[in-house]
């Protein structure tokens, strides 16, 4: 799989290292060292995945992520946010800013590549859905499920966790906005997943 990856990092040496590793796996890599340059690249549709380094001194990566997700023309681009420390507060800030995934430093190359590949697949599917929605709109057909996906609510979620207290906590947090099923046995969850038409597991 190949995709266009934008690496946003004001540390040029670090950006080159990450870029070289991604290029070795056949990703097309572009880099940006400041927010305005990064936003221009994204708005022109020149990337499929954004890799955003949060340990920078001159760029507020959480703000950049929020700006990308608030902009109609860039919100569909998956963002992988790299945080400096494995702290829950950084993970929460990354998710709150709209990041699609995150890595904590120090990270393994395998973990980085796996996440970039996953987000590239997500972008491919997102583009396909957008194209189908545009085609249906041109034909005068309105699809309610596209509106639901855009709103980020009323999804079907399967929670799989072998701890009863954890299952209940997660389910209660999601129940106001989504249809939630819970399952404590992984083997049973396979059958639920195959037959339940879930949006998220």
Residue 77 has pLDDT above 90, yes or no: yes
Q: What is the pLDDT of residue 143?
A: 58
Residues 100-120: pLDDT tens digits?
Answer: 998 888 888 899 999 999 999
CA-based nearest residue to 133, from 150, 153, 155, 109: 150
Chain-centroid distance of CA 201 in Å reads: 15
Cα-flanking dihedrals φ and ψ of residue 199, to 5°?
-90, -25
Give the confidence band of 68 by pLDDT, cuts at 50, 70, 90. very high
Cβ proximity of 128 and 48 under 8 Å:
no
Distance CA 169, CA 98 (A): 22
Model confidence, pTM: 0.73
**Across 140-155, average pLDDT:** 63
Q: Where are the alpha helices (DSSP H) in the chain?
A: 12-23, 35-43, 61-70, 88-96, 109-138, 144-151, 164-174, 186-195
Average model confidence (pLDDT) across the chain? 85
Task: Tell which wins on pLDDT, 34 or 150.
Answer: 34
Q: What is the pLDDT of residue 142?
A: 64
Residues 10-62: pLDDT tens digits?
Answer: 888 888 999 999 999 999 999 998 888 999 999 998 899 999 986 656 778 88
Give the confidence band of 86 by pLDDT, cuts at 50, 70, 90. low
Residues 173-200: pLDDT tens digits?
Answer: 888 888 899 998 888 888 888 888 888 8
Cβ proximity of 30 and 5 under 8 Å:
yes
Residues 115-134: pLDDT tens digits?
Answer: 999 999 989 888 888 888 88
């Amino acid at each position: 799989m190949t995709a266009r990856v934008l690496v946003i990092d004001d540390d040029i040496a670090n950006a080159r290292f990450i870029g070289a590793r991604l290029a070795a796996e056949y990703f097309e890599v572009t880099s940006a060292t400041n927010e305005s340059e990064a936003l221009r690249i994204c708005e022109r549709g020149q990337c499929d995945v954004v890799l955003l380094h949060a340990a920078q001194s001159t760029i507020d990566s959480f703000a950049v992520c929020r700006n990308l997700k608030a902009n109609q023309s860039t919100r569909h681009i998956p963002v992988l946010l790299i945080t400096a420390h494995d702290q829950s507060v950084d993970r929460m800030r990354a998710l709150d800013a709209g990041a699609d995934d995150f890595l904590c430093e120090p990270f393994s190359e395998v973990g980085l590549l796996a996440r970039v590949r996953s987000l590239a697949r997500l972008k491919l599917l997102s583009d396909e859905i957008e194209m189908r929605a545009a085609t249906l709109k041109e034909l005068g057909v309105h699809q309610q499920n596209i509106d639901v996906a855009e709103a980020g609510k009323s999804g079907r979620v399967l929670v799989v966790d072998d701890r009863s207290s954890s299952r209940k906590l997660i389910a209660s947090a999601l129940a106001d906005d989504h249809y939630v099923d819970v399952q404590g046995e992984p083997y049973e969850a396979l059958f639920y997943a195959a037959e339940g038409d879930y949006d998220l597991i």
